C-alpha cells in the first residue's frame, strides 16, 4: 500500500487547495438542490472548524476548495465534510446504506506564495467554463466567483467567452 504524507506546516495562516472527487466521477451535484445541500454542509463545516473559505466551486462530480484551516487538520475537515454530505443524502433517500459518494482520498496542494494563490483562485473560478458547464464564470452560481466580483477583485466579465490557460488545469 502506498504511504501518503500530507504537508502540514505549523503556520496557522497556511492555505490549501483541495479537490474532492465523487466515486467513479458520478454527478452527485448536478442539480441546484444537490449543490445547495453541499453549500449547507460547507457552512456547517466552516462554523464548526472556524476555517476560512477563500475560494470554492461545486461541480457535478467534484468540489474545489481553497481554505485556511487555522490550527485544524484539513484532513479532518475533508472527512467531516464528506461524512456530512453522505448523511444529508441518506436523509433524503438519495444514498442507500453502504452506498458511496466520494473517492476515498482527496487531492491537496499547499499554497506557496501570492502567485500560487492567485493561480489557484483562477483555476477554481474558471473550472465550470473548462468543463463546458457555462460560457463564463459569472454564469456558474455555485462558486465564490460572484463574491470576488462583488468585492471588486474581478470584473463580472472575467474570462467571458474566452479560453484562458491556467497551469495545472489539464489535470482536472
Q: Is 116 helix (H, G, I), strand (E, B) or coil?
A: helix
The Cβ of residue 152 has, within 10 Å, a number of other Cβ atoms equal to: 7
Where do the domains of the chain lie?
A: 16-167
Catalytic option among 16, 74, 142, 148: 142
Band the pLDDT of 161: cuts 50, 70, 90.
Answer: confident
Q: Is 142 helix (H, G, I), strand (E, B) or coil?
A: coil
Q: Is 62 helix (H, G, I), strand (E, B) or coil?
A: strand
pTM of the complete model beyond 0.85: yes
CATH for 16-167 is 3.30.70.1290
Identify the bridge partners of residue 109 per DSSP, sorted by sequence position: 17
pLDDT tens for residues 67-77? 999 888 999 99
> Does 16 qualify as catalytic in the annotation?
no
Amino acid at each position: 500500500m502506498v504511504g501518503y504524507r500530507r504537508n502540514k506546516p505549523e503556520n496557522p495562516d497556511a492555505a490549501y487547495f483541495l479537490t474532492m472527487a465523487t466515486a467513479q466521477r458520478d454527478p452527485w451535484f448536478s442539480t441546484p438542490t444537490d449543490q445547495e445541500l453541499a453549500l449547507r454542509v460547507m457552512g456547517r463545516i466552516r462554523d464548526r472548524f472556524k476555517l476560512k473559505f477563500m475560494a470554492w466551486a461545486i461541480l457535478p462530480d467534484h468540489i474545489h476548495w481553497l481554505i485556511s484551516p487555522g490550527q485544524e487538520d484539513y484532513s479532518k475537515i475533508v472527512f467531516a465534510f464528506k461524512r456530512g454530505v453522505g448523511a444529508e443524502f441518506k436523509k433524503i433517500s438519495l444514498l442507500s446504506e453502504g452506498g458511496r459518494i466520494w473517492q476515498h482520498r482527496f487531492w491537496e496542494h499547499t499554497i506557496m506564495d501570492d502567485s500560487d494563490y492567485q493561480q489557484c483562485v483562477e483555476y477554481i473560478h474558471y473550472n465550470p467554463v473548462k468543463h463546458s458547464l457555462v460560457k463564463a464564470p459569472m454564469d456558474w452560481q455555485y462558486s465564490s466567483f460572484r463574491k470576488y466580483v462583488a468585492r471588486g477583485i474581478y470584473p463580472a466579465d472575467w474570462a467571458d467567452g474566452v479560453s484562458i490557460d491556467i497551469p495545472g488545469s489539464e489535470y482536472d
